[in-house]
């Protein structure tokens, strides 16, 4: 009973410090000394990220043949010095907030950032690419970085780390890093529902299971490359995106699509649990569906006003390069969505609280 009480108290202290440090100024550097002690307590050496635009800090910037970029205003309008980095939001992402809560840095850098420093490699990087998914075909549609390619970059990263800090320290860093995998929405929205190939090959239930098989294959590859603590982010209620509401010509969320997200989450959680048992790795499933759905239903409880359209442009259809040069709403913090697809920094902060809670509770 004493052990359970201490675990609970530790989590409460962590979340209190996380909330106090970041909400004082969402764009300021967090108090590193206090929070680094928390990182040491939970034995986390770095944050390493794979995924899509939900966690891409700018890897797509240098890709020559894709429109799936966010390295221009109004993206990044609230990011530190109002510099658009390639993040598909107005400020920081969930992974930036997680890194801040664990005391390393105020942001997780893109691995392909030409200005990446050695210290950034040590704290962790993101290999994520907006437009990618568990299905490699999804990334090919928009000419972005597939999950398979992200793992190739991770192999390269490990070699760079060994040269930088030595094999022993690099190995220890990998053992105690928290790896985050966040993707899946593009597989449905950009691929299955709006491209003919997969929908002709699979029913929606078959495609869900195909994606789970793809995810399992890649997680096994990650494990073979040294990944020992993996947090997998579940699907959001993507039927509520302003883009989908517009396409469906409805003020309501698309119930069928949200049900697909829900059922996929059940399969994903089940597979993550089974992989933990079979591979002997530590895993966490971050279920963001309920958190987001509750905010959409009761926005005023969280300080939001607008739930049906994004802050930029018309808020109904634009995202990626289609958003370039668009106007913005007056009060960014009142909007759940930044563009017609992606969330605002305020929304990502709330999701980050859920993520930190799950990670610490699982990996403690």
> Checking DSSP bridges between strand 335-337 and strand 306-310, what pairing results, if any?
parallel
User: What is the spatial distance between Cα 111 and Cα 120, in angstroms, rounded to a whole number?
Assistant: 9
Question: What phi-psi label fits residue 312: left (phi over 0), alpha (psi between -120 and 50 degrees) or beta?
Answer: beta
For tokens 């972005």, name the residue: 144
339 catalytic residue (yes or no): yes
Residues in the chain: 364
Catalytic residue among 46, 52, 53, 113: 53
The residue among 123, 98, 122, 128 whose CA lies nearest residue 110 is: 128
Catalytic residue among 68, 123, 332, 342: 342
User: What is the spatial distance between Cα 301 and Cα 299, in angstroms, rounded to a whole number?
Assistant: 5
Strand partners, 181: 50, 232
How would you class 222 by CB atoms within 10 Å of its CB: exposed for 0-12, middle for 13-18, buried for 19 or more? buried
175 catalytic residue (yes or no): no
Would you say 240 and 258 are in contact if contact means Cβ atoms under 8 Å apart? yes
Query: In sequence order, what are the residues at sequence separation of 6 or more whose Cβ sits closer than 8 angstroms to the Cβ of residue 210?
Result: 135, 202
Question: What phi-psi label fits residue 325: left (phi over 0), alpha (psi between -120 and 50 degrees) or beta?
Answer: left
Residue 108 backbone phi and psi in degrees, to 5? -100, 120
How is residue 108 annotated by DSSP?
P
How is residue 328 annotated by DSSP?
B
User: What is the spatial distance between Cα 107 and Cα 99, in angstroms, rounded to a whole number?
Assistant: 7
User: What is the spatial distance between Cα 337 and Cα 10, in angstroms, rounded to a whole number?
Assistant: 32
The residue among 53, 57, 60 whose CA lies nearest residue 130 is: 53
Catalytic residue among 78, 96, 254, 339: 339
SS3 130: coil
User: What is the spatial distance between Cα 299 and Cα 306, in angstroms, rounded to a whole number?
Assistant: 8
- Could you give the residue numbers annotated as active site? 53, 339, 342
């Amino acid at each position: 009973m004493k052990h359970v009480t201490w675990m609970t108290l530790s989590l409460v202290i962590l979340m209190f410090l996380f909330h106090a440090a970041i909400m004082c100024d969402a764009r300021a550097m967090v108090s590193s000394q206090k929070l680094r002690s928390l990182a040491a307590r939970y034995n986390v050496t770095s944050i390493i990220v794979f995924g899509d635009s939900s966690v891409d800090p700018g890897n797509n910037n240098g890709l020559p043949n894709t429109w799936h970029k966010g390295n221009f205003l109004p993206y990044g309008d609230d990011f530190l010095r109002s510099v658009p980095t390639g993040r598909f939001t107005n400020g920081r992402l969930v992974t930036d907030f997680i890194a801040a809560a664990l005391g390393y840095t105020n942001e997780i850098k893109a691995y392909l950032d030409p200005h990446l420093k050695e210290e950034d490699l040590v704290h962790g990087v993101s290999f994520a690419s907006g437009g990618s998914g568990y299905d490699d075909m999804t990334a090919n549609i928009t000419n972005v970085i597939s999950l398979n390619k992200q793992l190739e970059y991770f192999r390269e990263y490990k070699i760079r780390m060994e040269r930088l800090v030595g094999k022993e320290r690099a190995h220890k860093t990998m053992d105690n890093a928290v790896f985050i995998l966040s993707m899946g929405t593009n597989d449905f929205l950009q691929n299955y529902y709006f491209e003919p190939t997969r929908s002709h090959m699979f029913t929606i239930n078959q495609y869900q299971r195909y994606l789970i098989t793809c995810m399992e294959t890649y997680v096994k590859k990650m494990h073979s490359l040294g990944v020992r603590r993996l947090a997998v982010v579940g699907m959001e209620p993507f039927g509520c995106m302003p883009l989908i509401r517009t396409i469906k010509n409805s003020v309501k969320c698309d119930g069928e699509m949200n049900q697909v997200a829900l059922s996929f989450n059940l399969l994903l959680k089940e597979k993550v649990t089974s992989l933990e048992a079979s591979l002997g790795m530590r895993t966490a499933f971050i279920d963001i569906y309920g958190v987001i759905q509750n905010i959409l239903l009761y926005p005023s409880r969280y300080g939001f006003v607008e739930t049906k359209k994004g802050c930029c442009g018309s808020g109904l259809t634009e995202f990626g390069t289609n958003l370039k040069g668009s106007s913005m709403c007056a009060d960014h913090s009142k909007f759940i969505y930044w563009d017609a697809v992606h969330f605002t920094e305020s929304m990502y902060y709330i999701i980050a609280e859920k993520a930190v809670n799950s990670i610490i509770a699982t990996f403690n």
